[in-house]
Amino acid sequence: MKILVTGGAGFIGSNVVDAMIDAGLEVVVVDDLSTGREENVNPKAKLYKVDIRGPQLEEVFERERPDYVDHHAAQISVRLSVQEPMKDAQINVLGSLNVIECCRKYNVKNLIYISTGGAVYGEPVYLPCDENHPVVPICHYGATKHTPEHYLHIYRYLYGLNYVVLRYPNVYGPRQDPLGEAGVVAIFIGQMLRGEQVIINGSGEQERDFVYVGDCVRANLLALDRGDGEIYNIGCGQGTSVNEIYARLKKITGYALEAKYGPPKPGETFRIYLDASKAERELGWQPTVSLDEGLRRTVDFFRT
């Protein structure tokens, strides 16, 4: 069986590629390398340097005829989405629609779409958020990641396209970009290991649902042949503050400086964590890596 992974040179996507190869699938990667890195791509995978917005994407589908598609490619920065909403929409909405249309035309058996549980719900009405929580994003990123979920429902209704939506939490782990706009764990680790000043945006009391990348990868494997037409939160069900992440990483790395505080980022939810009981019930998924263990693994990766 063959799977096409968009964004397969990126942080999460490349980890998914490794797992799919280990599971015995033939893997094709589509990535324009705007944020992904070619060295992340498993040598057993075939890489196409293609933008998901362009006509070249259909050429890849026509040549490769994948059985499955795992759609990770996206613009992931909340800050950039607020600053450049047109670019954000072009990638996350029009790029995703191009992927979905190719899946329809080439009879893909199942499309796994990666959405965001951290941004689609906005400021929660209740916690933890389950899949029935109102979707009221407060940033462009949340809106553009949610929009393809509607297209998927339409394509299933009109054309019978099978799909599964995974709404990710704050994912961290090996290969996350320590110099990027998103991913506080990697950014802090990079600054700490370089001996640079750590800046915490806002009060640091904002809470997130942190899940190790290996656990999110497992959700993709479980979703290959289960959960058609369903949306699943992926999360640990509890919030951890940015100040707590800083304190734990300071202890692990031996960082000597105290954090400084800067202005909050516009459009970011203050407190969010997810109820993943539906994923446990229907996919058999639950997180297995504790926060301390996951942070240690991530620090070890960046050290080596």
User: Active-site residue numbers?
Assistant: 141
Q: 113 with 148: CB under 8 angstroms?
A: yes
Is residue 182 helix, strand or coil?
A: coil
Phi then psi for 283, rounded to 5 degrees?
A: -105, -15
Cα distances (angstroms) measured from residue 22 to each of 44, 76, 86, 172, 303: 10, 27, 38, 21, 25
User: Any residues with CB less than 8 A from the CB of 43 and at least 6 apart, and which?
Assistant: none
Alpha helices in 26-163 (DSSP H): 56-64, 78-83, 85-89, 96-105, 140-159
User: Any residues with CB less than 8 A from the CB of 154 and at least 6 apart, and which?
Assistant: none
Cα distances (angstroms) measured from residue 248 to each of 114, 164, 258, 264: 28, 34, 13, 21
Q: Is residue 251 exposed (0-12), middle (13-18) or buried (19+ Cβ within 10 Å)?
A: exposed
* Structural tokens at position 160: 């019978």
- Cβ count within 10 A of residue 58: 15
